[in-house]
């Protein structure tokens, strides 16, 4: 053995000793000491009793939560999920809810208080009755807010009154979740609405006022609400149009239900020249159903979708938001625009198919208002380009959602659909519209014309205005007013973490055969990564352990997500500043 060999052996010995020391240290470091165990017990006691202050303290104590993640990862995830859920519930209820946001509050609560939700594990839910004692114990809200929460959880007496006859049904109502109660009430409201649309012939103000104040319609689900609002618009448009008709014309449409009245009115006002009649025609056209030539056949639909896809790229090019999107598509992402019924929305990105779907009714409404048949539209490139202009703000928003999914795929993290996605999407839309309004006179002219007759155009202008009034305030409006029913990242993350922790705990009690069966036939990581928050929470028992642990690990590193959302929000905010500075009109407000 030479000196070099001795030196090598000695080096190896030192390395092994160092590794042993490190291993011993790591094992020691991973176990909580007495003080830390006491602290954990105090947090567990506070959070288990649904104390929101305990939850806040735990979430704020990042040194301890990091330590707990190392020592007991599953316990850390479970406790964090409960604490986040409690914190999220408190934040939700603290918001200044309006009376007419009762349904919004109800939906937001139903997302949180139900079967298999983190709140259920700390005594709030699945039936909502125990929310009120919790509010009384930990929160001191105004009498108005308490009343609103009673309405939002569909308390039995609020819905059915206090008569002894009604009381017989109370026990079965009490065990229903908010979601189940809303489904029951929505079905009842939908049946009433459809009955009126199909048979009622009145369109006058007294009838419309009666409809507007009818309690039953506040329970309509989103698609029912859309139909109800459209019905009200149709009634108003028909009533205004009827005032211009002769007695013989009026005679033709009396005794007809509303859809038939709108169809006949569309024919009576076609291509009117006088200014008042043009506006009336646009309103009638915007509200009525399409006539045969104004609908898109399957072939025309395919053709138009392809033409719009090309036009849309050209349309958004040269704007800050548009160039960001084009860069994304030029980097290999696939753009696939389709025209389909969006079921109550103007557009959506569908991750499963990779398609951006533009609502067929929105496009057909544009055609009706502009007196275009499908054939005339497809023959005229300038008309297709104008339609692309009209749809481009909502396209920018949906392309942003596609970019969000691509980001998650690239970062290899599970991505729940959350409010923060909509803050970025709506901000991109508003930034784009702001810039186009300043740079593109044709775009501006089109929207100034269309905002007089379509709510779609009015809403794009409103989104732009609210964003320009201040992006920070816009962020709050998105969360509170527009996307109340969508969970925040915190809420979604806590729900999933809770479901995964519970499932991993359950698996510790399973026998080898049951575990083998899950690993053999359970859901693979790839499929689990594509699941929604609800799907993942509801089917944790069917997902392979490695997939559950991967998603748990993703969500425990919350800064990956919050960093992404904050960076997106900072970008749109600062780009608005750039648009304001470079193109905006000079401030005429002098200093005081």
User: Quick check: 585 binds other proteins (CB under 8 A)?
Assistant: yes
Cα 407 from Cα 163, distance rounded (Å) = 56
Sign of the C-alpha dihedral computed for residues 226, 476, 456 and 421 taken in this order: negative
For residue 285, give the H/E element and its range: helix 275-287
* Binding positions for other proteins, 402-431, rule CB under 8 A: 422, 426
| Paired strand residues for 355 | 350
User: Quick check: 60 binds other proteins (CB under 8 A)?
Assistant: yes
Q: At closest approach, how far in Å is the CB of 329 from other proteins? A: 24
What distance lies between CA 253 and its chain's CA centroid?
Answer: 41
Which own/partner contact pairs does 264-269 have at CB distance under 8 Å and 24+ positions apart? Answer: 265/237, 265/238, 265/241, 266/291, 266/368, 268/241, 269/241
User: Quick check: 204 binds other proteins (CB under 8 A)?
Assistant: no
Number of chain positions touching other proteins (CB under 8 A): 83
Place of tokens 């176990």: 31
User: What does DSSP assign to residue 543?
Assistant: B
Question: 77: which 2 tokens?
Answer: 């995830």
Burial class (CB in 10 A: 0-12, 13-18, 19+), 55: buried
Question: 572: which 2 tokens?
Answer: 């749109």
| Strand bridging mode 337-340 / 347-350 | unpaired
User: Quick check: 452 binds other proteins (CB under 8 A)?
Assistant: yes
User: Quick check: 451 binds other proteins (CB under 8 A)?
Assistant: yes
User: Quick check: 99 binds other proteins (CB under 8 A)?
Assistant: yes
* Binding positions for other proteins, 278-337, rule CB under 8 A: none
Out of 4, 5, 96, 332, the residue judged to bind other proteins by CB under 8 A = 96
Q: Return the number of the residue (142 or 248) whose C-beta is nearest other proteins.
A: 142
* Binding positions for other proteins, 1-30, rule CB under 8 A: none
Q: Decide: helix, strand or coil at residue 301.
A: helix
Q: Which stretch binds other proteins (CB under 8 A): 7-15, 136-144, 184-192, 374-382?
A: 136-144
* Binding positions for other proteins, 139-158, rule CB under 8 A: 139-145
CA angle 205, 210, 213 (to 5 degrees): 125
Out of 404, 427, 463, 488, the residue judged to bind other proteins by CB under 8 A = 463
* Binding positions for other proteins, 218-257, rule CB under 8 A: 222, 225-226, 229-230, 232-233
Cα 508 from Cα 297, distance rounded (Å) = 57
393 touches 433 (CB < 8 A): yes
Q: At closest approach, how far in Å is the CB of 346 from other proteins? A: 7
Supply the Cα-derived Rg of the chain in whole angstroms: 29
Out of 3, 168, 512, 589, the residue judged to bind other proteins by CB under 8 A = 589
Q: Return the number of the residue (440 or 527) whose C-beta is nearest other proteins.
A: 440
HSE at residue 170, side-chain half, CA atoms within 13 A, is 14
Q: Return the number of the residue (86 or 502) whose C-beta is nearest other proteins.
A: 86
Q: Return the number of the residue (232 or 556) whose C-beta is nearest other proteins.
A: 232
Q: Return the number of the residue (419 or 495) whose C-beta is nearest other proteins.
A: 419
Cα 305 from Cα 239, distance rounded (Å) = 36
Out of 469, 505, 519, 542, the residue judged to bind other proteins by CB under 8 A = 469
Q: At closest approach, how far in Å is the CB of 51 from other proteins? A: 9
Out of 214, 345, 525, 541, the residue judged to bind other proteins by CB under 8 A = 345
Binding pattern to other proteins, positions 173-202, x when CB under 8 A? Answer: ------------------------------
Cα 243 from Cα 228, distance rounded (Å) = 23
User: Quick check: 393 binds other proteins (CB under 8 A)?
Assistant: no
Question: 78: which 2 tokens?
Answer: 């479970």
Out of 208, 252, 438, 549, the residue judged to bind other proteins by CB under 8 A = 438
Binding pattern to other proteins, positions 510-549, x when CB under 8 A? Answer: ----------------------------------------
User: Quick check: 268 binds other proteins (CB under 8 A)?
Assistant: no
User: Quick check: 98 binds other proteins (CB under 8 A)?
Assistant: yes
* Binding positions for other proteins, 350-369, rule CB under 8 A: 359, 361-362
Please report, for residues 54, 216, 247, 253, 516, the alpha-carbon distance to residue 274 in angstroms, rounded to integers and kept in the order given.
68, 41, 20, 23, 77
548 touches 513 (CB < 8 A): no
Out of 251, 462, 519, 524, the residue judged to bind other proteins by CB under 8 A = 462
User: Quick check: 130 binds other proteins (CB under 8 A)?
Assistant: no
Cα 2 from Cα 65, distance rounded (Å) = 52
Q: Return the number of the residue (98 or 557) whose C-beta is nearest other proteins.
A: 98
Q: Which stretch binds other proteins (CB under 8 A): 16-24, 45-53, 149-157, 503-511?
A: 45-53
């Amino acid at each position: 053995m030479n000196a070099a060999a001795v030196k090598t052996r000695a080096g190896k010995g030192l390395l092994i000793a160092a590794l042993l020391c490190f291993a011993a240290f790591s094992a020691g470091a991973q176990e909580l000491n007495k003080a830390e165990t006491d602290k954990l017990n105090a947090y567990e006691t506070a959070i288990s009793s649904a104390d929101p202050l305990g939850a806040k303290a735990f979430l704020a104590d990042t040194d301890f939560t990091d330590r707990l993640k190392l020592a007991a990862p599953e316990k850390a995830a479970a406790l964090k999920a409960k604490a986040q859920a409690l914190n999220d519930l408190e934040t939700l209820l603290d918001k200044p809810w309006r009376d007419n946001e009762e349904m919004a509050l109800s939906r937001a609560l139903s997302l949180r208080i139900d079967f298999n939700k983190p709140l259920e594990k700390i005594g709030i839910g699945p039936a909502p009755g125990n929310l009120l004692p919790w509010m009384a114990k930990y929160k001191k809200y105004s009498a108005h807010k308490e009343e609103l929460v009673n309405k939002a959880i569909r308390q039995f007496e609020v819905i059915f009154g206090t008569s002894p006859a009604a009381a017989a049904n109370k026990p079965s109502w009490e065990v229903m979740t908010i979601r189940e109660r809303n489904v029951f009430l929505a079905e009842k409201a939908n049946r009433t609405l459809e009955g009126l649309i199909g048979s009622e012939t009145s369109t006058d103000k007294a009838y419309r006022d009666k409809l507007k104040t009818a309690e039953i319609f506040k329970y309509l689900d989103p698609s029912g609400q859309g139909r109800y609002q459209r019905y009200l618009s149709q009634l108003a448009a028909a009533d205004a149009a009827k005032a211009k008709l002769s007695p013989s014309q009026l005679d033709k449409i009396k005794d007809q239900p509303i859809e038939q009245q709108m169809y006949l009115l569309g024919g009576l006002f076609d291509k009117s020249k006088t200014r008042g009649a043009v506006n009336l025609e646009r309103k009638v056209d915007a509200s009525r159903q399409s006539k045969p030539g104004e609908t898109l056949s399957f072939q025309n639909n395919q053709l138009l979708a392809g033409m719009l896809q090309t036009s849309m790229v050209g349309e958004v090019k040269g704007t800050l938001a548009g160039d960001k999107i084009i860069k994304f598509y030029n980097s290999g992402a696939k753009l696939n625009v389709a025209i389909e019924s969006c079921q109550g929305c103007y557009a959506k990105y569908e991750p499963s198919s990779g398609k951006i779907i533009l609502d067929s009714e929105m496009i057909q409404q544009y055609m009706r208002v502009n007196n275009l048949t499908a054939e005339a539209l497809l023959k005229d490139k300038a008309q297709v380009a104008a339609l692309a202009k009209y749809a481009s703000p909502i396209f920018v928003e949906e392309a942003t959602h596609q970019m969000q999914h691509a980001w998650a795929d690239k970062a290899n993290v599970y991505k729940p659909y959350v409010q923060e996605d909509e803050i970025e999407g709506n901000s991109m839309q508003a930034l784009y519209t702001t810039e186009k309004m300043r740079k593109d006179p044709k775009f501006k002219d089109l929207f100034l014309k269309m905002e007089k007759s379509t709510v779609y155009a009015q809403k794009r202008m409103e989104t732009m205005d609210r964003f320009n009034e201040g992006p920070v305030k816009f962020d709050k409006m998105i969360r509170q007013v527009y996307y109340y029913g969508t969970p925040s990242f915190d809420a979604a993350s806590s729900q999933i973490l809770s479901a995964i922790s519970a499932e991993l705990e359950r698996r510790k009690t399973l026998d080898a055969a049951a575990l083998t069966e899950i690993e053999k036939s359970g859901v693979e990581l790839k499929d689990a990564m594509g699941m929604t928050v609800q799907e993942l929470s509801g089917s944790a028992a069917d997902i392979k352990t490695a997939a559950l642990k991967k998603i748990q690990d993703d969500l425990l590193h919350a800064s990956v997500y919050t960093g992404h959302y904050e960076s997106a929000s900072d970008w749109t905010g600062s780009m608005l500043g750039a648009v304001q500075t470079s193109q905006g009109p000079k401030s005429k407000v002098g200093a005081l």
